[in-house]
Chains A and B, each alone.
Chain A
Amino acid sequence: MKVLLIDDKAKKGWEQLLKLIFPFQNMVIESATTYVDAIDLIQNEYDIILLDIRLEANDYKKINIEDFSGYKILKKIKRNFSIVNFSTPIILLTASNKIWNIDAFKEYGVDSYFIKEHPDYIFDKKASNYSYEIFRDNFENLLFDIGPRRKDVWRLSNEIINKINKHYYFNGSKKDKNIKNRIIDKLKLGYAYLFKGQTKLEKDLLKTNNESLAFIIYFSILEEIVKGFSDISTWNTATYERNINWKFKNKEYFIEKNKDGITVNITFDKKKAINYSDDTNEYSKYSEGLINLSEQMYSLIAAYSDGDNYTKLSNSFQEINKFRNETDYIHSNVKNIFTKELIHKDTTEDAYNNCCKVLELINDILSLI
């Protein structure tokens, strides 16, 4: 575990004190006492960062929060979703009691804060001890729980972004690039919902469940993925309506019109094409493009994978899809409407795990080609 302490007084006792308060054997604290040192060290990955607001003497002459050295460092850490410490939890360690300063830092991604007591505004003993307890709990919570979770999702998201930025399916035409940008934006949106602090009021009374919302956002990326893998040259691109034939960019057909009717490459458990004659209901369904996402996904997996890989990916999607139908936080399942409550406490953790599973699946699909 690596901790970065950014504080001009780090070597005047703060670093030692933190080591004594948090005596984790495998924890290393590195310190930056100047703005320049901090900019240098934040290139390395940390598990938690403690950040002071003002590091330079001339910070005390500045009025705008944006000009404080601590704020500039924060903006460098958060300037881009792919920056190495973007997801690293940050605790503001400050002698300032000005709430607008703290708010400005929180607006830009600081998770928590600890106010160093100042002789001019000393808390009473009880409040002082309480402040310490909160700091201790926040530090532990961010370091061992929230931080690793956030880092996992951030890492998976960035793996997808890196792959998609190089993937020739998503970097050709303007349309392909648009799909790519939407996927990247949805990754950020999902991350934002997943780790957005929810108040007790929101959870208890307003029934928010950010994990489920994030899951729905991530799940919806699969819509974009399928379109990115599809050859839309046969589509009516003026209205983006599909013609009767649907093939993927690797020339494998998903739906193909032939002399006997329509052939659909869609199977859940094995790769098998099914042929429907033009007098069947399925024929009109597929010819009109009434195809749900799960069918599109199975078809994509079938078109791009073989054997074990096919089984692994289709099973993975099946599991995620099942969860999506049961969760129905936004999309309502008919059975659920009559039988289930909208929010279940138990599903929150499942939703988080399924967020990771969707991201892993997207990663795997992008690796298929």
Chain B
Amino acid sequence: MIYLIDDKTTRQNDYGWSKDKFNQYENDICLISNYEEYQRLNILSDNSIILIHDSFFANAKFSISSVKRDEMRKEIIQFANDNRNFQIVFFSGGIDARKKNANIAYMPVSVLYQNLEIFIGKVKNSDINIDYLFFGNDPEVEKNLSEKLIAANNNTGTFEGMINPKKNCLFRPEERFIQIYDDKNFETKTIYKNSDLSQIIEVNLLKEKYDNIFIPISIGSSLSDFLGLKFATLIRCTRTINQCSNIFIYSYVGYEYLYNNKYFNILKTKNVQLIKHKLDAFKIAIDAKLETLTLLELPYEMEKLKLDVPDNYEDNHSIANEWGIYQLAYNANIDIKEITDFDSEKLNSLYFKWLIAKNGLYEDLPQKDKEENEVFRASSYEIKQPKVLKTIDLTKIPKR
């Protein structure tokens, strides 16, 4: 039996799963949307397939303690470790890439609902393979891409080294990477499988300014997620000294594989180029005379990207409020950090970074507005507070 545990039932409709559609599969999939239902059904059995929202246990609606919630999550993972026929898939709007470790998998919510019907059909025919949930009708896509990558690595051509005045940063994946034995022209950085993209930027791109940054098209455990596009977008949207550096994404596949990726439009922006997974392509890239991208041009370039509100947002209303607060604080010349109720973690999300980049909010307010706002706030404080004429110390007055 497949158990679908998702407390965010309203999004199911948005992903094309209406009540009627679920009713068609009522014998194949069991829906759970709250803790009470979860408790009532004994889902931890050897042949169960659990598809569970990653934040289900953390959901604040539960009337149980956070310790108990953590225990429940650990219990389900422990059960999976002990029972290899038991399959569990954690899905979330905050997960960008597909990842599988034995019988425990992680995937984006949109992909789960997109491929759920295919997966149910296969399970009905006793073909239980999480790859159908990952990749739909083409579970071999990863295998095919892997073969392409190996072939590309075997045919990288030659790189005639030269010492050039430019500073080049080369990111390479942990496995199956292109070999460039050239530490004179490149600073090589390794991206480990489970690395967080924001952290990679934090560790590698804050101190040293590079002219060119080379990144692989596939990052992480799932080649077909083509996270190199997301990484390039993140570099452009994150305020660092390398925000406007040239970015070359070296790829073993052509554009036809990338059109449907939600970060594809980064390739339409200035100084982000897709180059071949060949050594001579690196040389051409280094030699290219690109006009520098400036911070002033960045909002216009970022406008070309059309990022959707992340799936892990409560609703469209929440992002509007967060953005509304951010914008109003900016216009009032108030540091967002002063608003402690504001979830500043949100500022680290790519979506928020993109909004800030495309609206040019890195720049300070014009001096005129800044001064006017300061005068307003100062005068508000001075004028509106009661005027203290004299202070009487009651302790010095004798009691009658």
* Assembly CA distance A54 to B342 (angstroms): 20
**Which residue from B318, B323, B339 sits with its C-beta under 8 Å from A117?**
B323
- Return A78 CB to nearest CB of chain B, in Å: 25
Q: Chain B 295-331, CB within 8 Å of chain A: the 1/0 string?
A: 0000000000000010000010111111111011101
Q: B377–A21 contact, CB under 8 A?
A: yes
Q: Which residues from B are CB-within-8-Å of A95?
A: 317, 320-321, 324
* Assembly CA distance A161 to B368 (angstroms): 50
Q: Which residues from B are CB-within-8-Å of A21?
A: 328, 332, 334, 377
Q: Which residues from B are CB-within-8-Å of A135?
A: 328
A312 at the interface (CB under 8 A from B): no
B14 at the interface (CB under 8 A from A): no
A108 at the interface (CB under 8 A from B): no
Q: Which residues from B are CB-within-8-Å of A11?
A: 341
- Return A112 CB to nearest CB of chain B, in Å: 15
A167 at the interface (CB under 8 A from B): no
Q: A13–B385 contact, CB under 8 A?
A: no
A62 at the interface (CB under 8 A from B): no
The answer to whether residues A14 and B338 also contact, given A25-B384, A132-B328 and a CB cut-off of 8 A, is no
Q: A20–B339 contact, CB under 8 A?
A: yes
Q: A17–B385 contact, CB under 8 A?
A: no
Q: B384–A14 contact, CB under 8 A?
A: no
A23 at the interface (CB under 8 A from B): yes
A197 at the interface (CB under 8 A from B): no
Q: A54–B317 contact, CB under 8 A?
A: yes
Query: Which chain A residues numbered 73 to 130 have a C-beta less than 8 Å away from chain B?
Result: 95, 116-119, 122, 125, 128-129
**Which residue from B320, B369, B381 sits with its C-beta under 8 Å from A119?**
B320
B254 at the interface (CB under 8 A from A): no
Q: A136–B327 contact, CB under 8 A?
A: no
**Which residue from B334, B343, B355, B386 sits with its C-beta under 8 Å from A12?**
B343
Q: Which residues from A are CB-within-8-Å of B323?
A: 116-119, 122
B110 at the interface (CB under 8 A from A): no
Q: B320–A116 contact, CB under 8 A?
A: yes
Q: B342–A16 contact, CB under 8 A?
A: yes
Q: Which B residue sits closest to A135, measured CB to CB?
A: B328
Query: Which chain B residues numbered 327 to 377 have a C-beta less than 8 Å away from chain A?
Result: 327-329, 331-332, 334, 338-343, 351, 355, 359-360, 365, 369, 376-377
**Which residue from B321, B328, B329, B360 sits with its C-beta under 8 Å from A125?**
B360
Q: A24–B380 contact, CB under 8 A?
A: yes
A22 at the interface (CB under 8 A from B): yes
Number of A residues, CB within 8 Å of B: 35
A60 at the interface (CB under 8 A from B): yes
Q: A-B contact count, CB below 8 Å?
A: 108
A151 at the interface (CB under 8 A from B): no
Q: A13–B339 contact, CB under 8 A?
A: yes
* Assembly CA distance A311 to B384 (angstroms): 39
- Return A336 CB to nearest CB of chain B, in Å: 40
Q: Which residues from B are CB-within-8-Å of A149?
A: none
Q: Which residues from B are CB-within-8-Å of A9?
A: 318, 321
- Return B64 CB to nearest CB of chain A, in Å: 22
Q: Chain A 15-58, CB within 8 Å of chain B: the 1/0 string?
A: 11100111111110000000000000000000000000010010
* Assembly CA distance A54 to B316 (angstroms): 13
Q: B339–A16 contact, CB under 8 A?
A: yes
Q: B342–A13 contact, CB under 8 A?
A: yes
Q: Which A residue sits closest to B331, measured CB to CB?
A: A132
Q: A132–B384 contact, CB under 8 A?
A: no
Q: Which residues from A are CB-within-8-Å of B355?
A: 119, 122
* Assembly CA distance A27 to B319 (angstroms): 28
- Return A38 CB to nearest CB of chain B, in Å: 17
Q: B331–A129 contact, CB under 8 A?
A: yes
- Return A134 CB to nearest CB of chain B, in Å: 11
Q: Which residues from A are CB-within-8-Å of B325?
A: 12-14, 17, 116
Q: B381–A23 contact, CB under 8 A?
A: yes
Q: B384–A24 contact, CB under 8 A?
A: yes
Q: Which residues from A are CB-within-8-Å of B359?
A: 122, 125
**Which residue from B324, B351, B381 sits with its C-beta under 8 Å from A24?**
B381
- Return B312 CB to nearest CB of chain A, in Å: 15
* Assembly CA distance A121 to B334 (angstroms): 22
Q: Chain B 39-50, CB within 8 Å of chain A: the 1/0 string?
A: 000000000000
Q: Which residues from B are CB-within-8-Å of A136?
A: 332, 376
* Assembly CA distance A54 to B321 (angstroms): 12
* Assembly CA distance A57 to B8 (angstroms): 12
- Return A362 CB to nearest CB of chain B, in Å: 33
* Assembly CA distance A292 to B177 (angstroms): 103
The answer to whether residues A16 and B377 also contact, given A95-B321, A129-B369 and a CB cut-off of 8 A, is no
Q: Chain B 146-183, CB within 8 Å of chain A: the 1/0 string?
A: 00000000000000000000000000000000000000
Q: Which A residue sits closest to B327, measured CB to CB?
A: A117
Given contacts A13-B341, A16-B340, 14 further A-B contacts (CB under 8 A): A12-B321, A13-B321, A17-B339, A21-B328, A21-B377, A24-B381, A54-B317, A117-B323, A118-B319, A119-B323, A122-B355, A132-B331, A133-B331, A135-B328
Can you list 30 residue pairs at the A/B interface with Cβ under 8 Å? Answer: A9-B318, A13-B322, A13-B342, A16-B338, A17-B329, A17-B339, A17-B342, A20-B334, A21-B328, A24-B384, A24-B385, A25-B381, A25-B385, A26-B384, A27-B384, A57-B315, A60-B315, A95-B321, A117-B323, A118-B319, A118-B323, A118-B324, A119-B323, A122-B355, A122-B359, A125-B360, A129-B331, A129-B369, A131-B331, A144-B384
Q: Rank and list the top 9 A-B pairs by shortest CB-CB distance, nearest first.
A: A116-B324, A25-B385, A13-B342, A132-B331, A95-B320, A24-B384, A9-B321, A118-B320, A13-B325
